[in-house]
């Protein structure tokens, strides 16, 4: 594992042994070295071009129900020993003992293959992508008044060791591109956005065309110039492939994280083994999906990524677990222990969360809907995990009239309850797609996540619009 070695295993053993001297039951070192590049072009001008590096270690010591944590940017022997002493003191028990940690359980993860490391690509080539996207919209003759494009990549190397003898690591490389456009017309100013992100190297830009991404964002903005105000009231809602995955991530996924279950802060607490969704619904969280934004070989506690079936055929089968919650329940982690950086403690987090495909025909689902809303893309929203109640904005949506897509709509929200939505899904198509890359925020930490859906229909949802 030389390519993911940041600190020598001998030093890690010494520091862990030191951390355990106070009588702690568990100690862990999380070492991180992350490099990133970002570039922003706005109205034809490069506004930002940044390189960053973040390097350090977080040390966790557990004694009974008490956790001590310290982090340091100093990866020297003295720096790590000081952090270990601080974490140990915070979790100190009444006894002191000599503990020798032997890192004999070396785990070799399935690290993603990368064709072209972004760090080996010149800045000028990255900026050229931004300029090409901008020019493609300008040359299309569309009523677009503003174009902003963003490029980003990150190279994150992890090394994890703990007092149970585990020594492992991972290399996570992500590449990202997004375009936002503003169009102007009689209906005022309208925006459209499209983004692509994968856990791959610069080869992302061989597999996709940034001009097509830009034109899709522009078309979304231009289409909304002909939009009508969204209706109000309860009606069927058809969600298109990929575009509605955030609904299930926010309104259902968070409620299936074991820390919220433990606090009884989730509507799904105590419902394992019960029917919580329509019989055709299967909800999965999968950190092993090759290339997807939430993909990794190991989580931030050193556990292998897993495919975790949370709801199967409508029945709640399991929750998502990190090491701390799993230990209390005498089970293994599900590979969902994640942290934003070495400065943060891990917590239960999603990876790639999606509703599995069914066997319906997407066109027939629309044709069987006499009147309602078709949502191609959802925006941000708010969710109460204790009740499942949510409000989401619609960034691209259309009326359905007489079984056909009609006028685009604007200024509308979807209002409902996550568990009720699961029960009210009455049709699922086979056209599964993952949505745009996302960053999930929880307790002040953000981590990369993916989500996805096939075309599906919720037989009743409240639409909050402005139409009279």
Question: What CATH code is carried by the domain that includes residue 161?
Answer: 3.30.2290.10
Q: In the structure encoding, which two tokens stand for residue 196, read together? A: 């692509």
Positions of the chain with pLDDT under 50: 1-2, 94-100
Same domain, 214 and 271: no
What's the domain range around 281?
228-464
Mapping DSSP to helix (H, G, I), strand (E, B) and coil, where does residue 64 land? coil
Same domain, 165 and 235: no
Same domain, 28 and 98: yes
Q: Which long-range contacts (CB under 8 A, 24 or more apart) does 91-96 make?
A: 91/22, 91/24, 91/61, 91/62, 91/63, 91/66, 91/67, 92/22, 92/23, 92/63, 92/68, 93/22, 93/23, 93/24, 93/63, 93/64, 94/23, 95/22, 95/23, 96/21, 96/22, 96/23
Domain boundary, last residue among 183, 202, 226: 226
Q: What is the pLDDT of residue 256?
A: 97
CA distances to 99, 118, 250, 262, 349 from 340, in Å: 30, 21, 18, 22, 10
Query: What domain count does the chain have?
Result: 2
Same domain, 167 and 295: no
- Helix or strand holding residue 310 (H, E): strand 307-312
Q: How many Cβ atoms are within 10 Å of 15's Cβ, its own excluded?
A: 25
Same domain, 294 and 373: yes
Q: What is the pLDDT of residue 93?
A: 58
Q: How far apart are CA 448 and CA 218, in angstroms?
A: 25
Same domain, 210 and 266: no
Q: In the structure encoding, which two tokens stand for residue 75, read together? A: 């990866």
15 Cβ contact list (under 8 Å, min separation 6) = 29, 59, 77, 80, 81, 84
Same domain, 176 and 268: no
CA distances to 187, 297, 347 from 446, in Å: 36, 19, 11
Domain boundary, last residue among 203, 226, 249: 226
Same domain, 32 and 165: yes
Is 355 exposed, middle or buried (CB count within 10 Å of its CB: 0-12, 13-18, 19+)?
A: buried
Same domain, 235 and 221: no
CA nearest neighbour of 351 among 414, 416, 419, 283: 283
Domain boundary, last residue among 162, 197, 226: 226
73 neighbors 56 (Cβ within 8 angstroms): yes
Mapping DSSP to helix (H, G, I), strand (E, B) and coil, where does residue 268 land? coil
Same domain, 25 and 104: yes
Q: How far apart are CA 426 and CA 409, in angstroms?
A: 24
CA nearest neighbour of 434 among 285, 317, 279: 285
CA nearest neighbour of 231 among 438, 18, 413: 413
């Amino acid at each position: 594992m030389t390519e993911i070695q940041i600190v020598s295993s001998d030093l890690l053993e010494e520091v862990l042994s030191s951390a355990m001297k106070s009588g702690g039951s568990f100690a862990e070192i999380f070492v991180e070295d992350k490099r990133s590049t970002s570039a922003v072009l706005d109205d034809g001008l490069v506004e930002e071009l940044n390189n960053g590096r973040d390097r350090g270690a977080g040390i966790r010591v557990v004694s009974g129900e008490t956790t001590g944590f310290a982090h340091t940017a100093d990866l020297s022997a003295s720096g790590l020993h000081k952090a270990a002493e601080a974490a140990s003191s915070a979790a100190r028990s009444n006894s002191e003992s000599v503990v020798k940690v032997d890192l004999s359980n070396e785990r070799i993860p399935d690290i993603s293959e990368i064709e072209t490391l972004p760090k080996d690509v010149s800045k000028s080539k990255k900026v050229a992508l931004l300029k090409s996207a901008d020019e493609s919209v300008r040359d299309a003759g569309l009523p677009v008044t503003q174009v902003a494009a963003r490029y980003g990549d990150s190279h994150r190397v992890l090394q994890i060791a703990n007092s149970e003898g585990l020594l492992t690591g991972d290399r996570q490389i992500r590449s990202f591109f997004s375009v936002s456009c503003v169009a102007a017309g009689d209906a005022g100013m309208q925006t459209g956005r499209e983004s692509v992100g994968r856990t791959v190297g610069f080869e992302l830009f061989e597999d996709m065309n940034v001009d097509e991404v830009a034109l899709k964002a522009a078309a979304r903005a231009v289409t909304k110039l002909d939009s009508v105000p969204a209706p109000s009231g309860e009606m069927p809602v058809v969600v298109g492939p990929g575009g509605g995955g955030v609904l299930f991530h926010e309104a259902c996924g968070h409620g299936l994280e074991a820390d919220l279950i433990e606090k009884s802060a989730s509507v799904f607490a105590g419902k394992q083994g019960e029917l919580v969704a329509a019989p055709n619904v299967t909800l999965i969280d999968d950190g092993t999906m090759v290339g997807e934004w939430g993909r990794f070989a190991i989580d931030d506690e050193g556990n292998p990524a897993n495919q975790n079936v949370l709801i199967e055929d409508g029945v709640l089968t399991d929750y998502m677990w990190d090491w701390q919650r799993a230990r209390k329940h005498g089970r293994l982690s599900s590979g969902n222990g994640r942290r934003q950086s070495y400065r943060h403690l891990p917590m239960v987090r999603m990876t790639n969360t999606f509703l599995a495909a069914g066997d319906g025909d997407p066109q027939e689902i629309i044709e069987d809907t006499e009147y309602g809303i078709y949502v191609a893309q959802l925006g941000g929203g708010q969710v109460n995990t204790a009740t499942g109640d949510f409000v989401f904005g619609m960034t691209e949506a259309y009326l359905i009239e007489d079984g056909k897509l009609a006028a685009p709509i604007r200024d509308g929200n979807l209002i409902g309850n996550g568990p009720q939505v699961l029960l009210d899904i009455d049709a699922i198509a086979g056209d599964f797609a993952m949505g745009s890359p996302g960053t999930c925020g929880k307790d002040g930490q953000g981590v990369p996540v993916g989500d996805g859906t096939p075309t599906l229909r919720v037989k009743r949802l409240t639409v909050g619009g402005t139409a009279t």
